[in-house]
Amino acid sequence: MGGPKSQWLTLSITLALASLSASTAISLYLWKRKSKPTFSNGESSKKIEQLEASLKGALAKCAAERKGRIRAQQALREALRSPNSDKLESSSYPMAPIAVVHSCFSTRNGTPRQPLLVPLAKASLIFDSARIPLPSLEGLEGYSHCWIIYVFHLNTDLDKLWKHPSQSKFKAKVRVPRLNGDRIGVFATRSPHRPCAIGLTVAKVEAIHGHEVLLSGVDLVDGTPVLDIKPYLPYCDSIQGATVPDWVKADNILAVASVNFSEGFSSSLAECWLLVEKKSHYASPDEFQSLIRQVLSWDIRSLSQRSRPHQPQLNTESDDDVEKIVDDFSRVESCREDEAIENGGELVSSLTSDVVYHLILEGLNISYRIDSDSNVLVEKATLASLHSKSR
């Protein structure tokens, strides 16, 4: 049996031949119905017999080709469904991203954990015009929301996807924020660290301009590859009476007490805005400031950061320092979340309000502090070097 590519080639040739044969048969049939004989009765009868024989042969050939096409399709499905037990990773489906996300979230840090939590979170879904014909998007504007199937492309353990399950060291249980560090089966969560790094989210469809779909309420980081989108259907996607575990119902466990801005924040934002407004998803600094308030209305820090805040002695005056801090966030989270959580995850440093945290939105570095009572103070906005890398 050949590989998937040869199977696809055989299937394409079979379809082309079937189409040609069907076209020939129909043409002969229409000629017979519409043409008027201009010769003698004997010649006419002979001509009709020849045409009927030709039509019968063409139809028989079309039927045979159809059977061959069905057999080829069945063989391909079987090949994809029955991977080689010795090389599980060698069997794959022909999938590739059809679009990429241009999001207001420049990094993973600060991207909402679930969709629609931040209504002002905007993104543009840019489809590959070479692969996706423009008519493919016709009708999508009639729906208020759509599902988005995407790849967790920034996972730090993507290399495991190419390894055999026995060698991938796949973690069957993960820590979740709502359980204060307790572990639960990965398939009972929406953790990005999965055997197949595929995500599912829903967003509001704001507008469609050519190959660009404008979205809001997103939880997608900039540069996310998209595999597919589907319209949201309330009559079947919204399940009445659906139930969830009690730990999922704790909606306010990550909500902060308040979000306030320093006296100098507006002026610092105004200075930066002139440099980013042309590429921004937002029409004004005021709208952007509202986005910041919505994002920081939830405690976006990781479990380890909430339990053991970073030491306050951090020099964050340069863009290189900002980038390093963002990288440190990822490293600290991946290292510490495997450690035991002291006192059931309730340890909070008295120096919490002295720690400066950073949120990267639209290429701007937003500095803020959060005290032990979960009050957030947003201090200033500066340009971030990550801006040029994420756009």
Q: What is the number of other CB atoms lying within 10 angstroms of the CB of residue 232?
A: 17
How confident is the model at residue 60, as a pLDDT? Answer: 86
Ranked by mean pLDDT, the top range of 191-195, 292-296, 384-388 is: 292-296
Q: Judge whether 69 and 14 are in contact, CB under 8 Å.
A: yes
How confident is the model at residue 248, as a pLDDT? Answer: 85
Choose between 158 and 148: higher pLDDT.
148
Choose between 164 and 50: higher pLDDT.
50
Checking if the pLDDT of 125 tops 80, the result is: yes
**DSSP calls for 199-238:** EEEEEEEEEEETTEEEEES----TT-EEEEEEE--HHHHS
How confident is the model at residue 334, as a pLDDT? Answer: 41
Q: What are the distances in angstroms from CA 26 to CA 80, 107, 358?
A: 36, 58, 69
Tens digits of per-residue pLDDT, 51-87? 888 888 888 888 888 888 888 777 766 765 665 545 5
Tens digits of per-residue pLDDT, 276-334? 999 999 999 999 999 999 999 999 988 777 776 654 434 444 444 444 444 444 444 44
Tens digits of per-residue pLDDT, 169-182? 778 898 887 787 78
